[in-house]
Structure formats: structure tokens, C-alpha cells
Amino acid sequence: MLQLANNVLMWVRLSAASFIEPCYSRDRACLLRSAQRAVAVVAGGVPALGMQPLDPMHVARVDAGQAGLTMQFTNTIVKGLRNCRVADIARRSSYETSLTLSCHVELVGDYSLGGKLLMLPIQGQGRYKIRLQEIQVTVTMQVGERVAGGERYWTVRSWQHNADATQRVLYQFQNLFQGNKDMSDAVHKFANENWHRIFQEVAPPIVKAIITQIVAEITKLFERVPIRQLALD
């Protein structure tokens, strides 16, 4: 009876992963096609695989400080990940997979900032919105293998990422300088004219938090679906 239950559970998991098209590592066209198809499905969540939705994504809290600027972002909602375009994907070896996504996303939540934003003093707390017209993110995962029930599964041993805003970023922070309109307008003008430099200053901790959640859901896929359902070599 237990074996029957296990077989049914395995069938459910494999059926739930039917959105993955297994590919040879050298077949870039197949890899791109399979990954692009998977983006919207994974972003929507796959309950049968224990995978939570990524769009919208909730990021509870990000604290960071650098170059004299302290930042706190809470209750952030990220929208748009289901529409990401797969710009590149490669399995360079049996132990490394690299994925590059190009996305248009919007982040809305609560913020607290204090210190200097590049050369400008900044202080405030309230609601914020950041709209990234295009962000390109590359995630490289070092993978291993485990064997369970006679099947081979990938494991994520470690990962690294890099990200860059390749098109304009729009920033909106409510209640800067306790609502002083002139000072707030000056900061917003500077930030939106120097959007790329501000992205490099403000965005990295938020981007890392988002990617951490994405990798966590990919890890669940690897934990539950055998390699033979994900790759042909």
C-alpha cells in the first residue's frame, strides 16, 4: 500500500512537471524554449511540487547599509516576473547551470532611508515604488546530485548572480524630508536623471532578496523531479 502511494505521488510530481521539455545541454534552442515556457508556470506556482507563486512576490524585509546610506525596505510586493524573457541559458557542465533573464518589474512597499544618496543628503520613511523598465539578471548555480528511490536528482550547492538595469528606472519615495516638497522634488529629479547610478546604490540588496526566493523555488523543483525529466544528458 505504501509503495502504491509512493508511485502515485511520483506520478503526480512528474505530471506536474510536464511544462519542462528535457533537452541536451548542447541544444541551446531547446533549452531556451523549455526555460521560457517554464517561466510563467513557475511564477504562477506549482502546488503539486510545493512551489509557491513568484508573481506577485512578497519580500518581508530587507536591511542594508553602504557608503553612508542606511536602507530598510519592508512589505515589498514585486510584480512582473511571469513576463520575464529568457535571454540566455546554458548547462556548461554537469555541475553548472547559468540562466539570464530580462524583466520589466515593479516594486511597491514601505521604506526607510537615511544618510547620503551618492552626494545628496536623504531622509524619509513611507511608501515607495520602483519601476524597472528592464533589468537583466544572470544566475549561475553550482549543482550536485543525490540518489533517492533509484532516481537521480539535482541539488543546488551554491549560486551567484549579477544584475544590471539596462533601461530607465523610475523612483518614487513618499514623505521624504517629512513631506518637504522642494527637497523631495530635488532628490527625485536627481534620482530619476541618474537612474543607473542610483540603481547600483539602492537596488542590490532588494535584487538579491528577490533572486533568493526564485532560487528557493527552483530548488524545490530539483528536489522533487528526477534529472531524467529535466535533461537528456
0.85 cut: is pTM over it? Answer: yes
Instruction: Give the chain's domain count.
Output: 1
Domain that holds residue 89: 2-229
Neighbour count for residue 68 (Cβ, 10 Å): 11
**Does the structure show a pLDDT above 60 at 81?**
yes
Please give the pLDDT value at position 7: 42
CA end-to-end span of the chain: 34
**Average pLDDT of the chain?**
91
- CB of 144 within 8 A of CB of 154? yes
Please give the pLDDT value at position 15: 59
- Find, among 145, 121, 120, the residue nearest to 227 by Cα: 145
CATH number at residue 211: 3.15.10.30
The C-alpha atoms of residue 81 and residue 105 are separated, in whole angstroms, by: 7
Please give the pLDDT value at position 123: 95
- CB of 173 within 8 A of CB of 126? yes
Please give the pLDDT value at position 3: 46
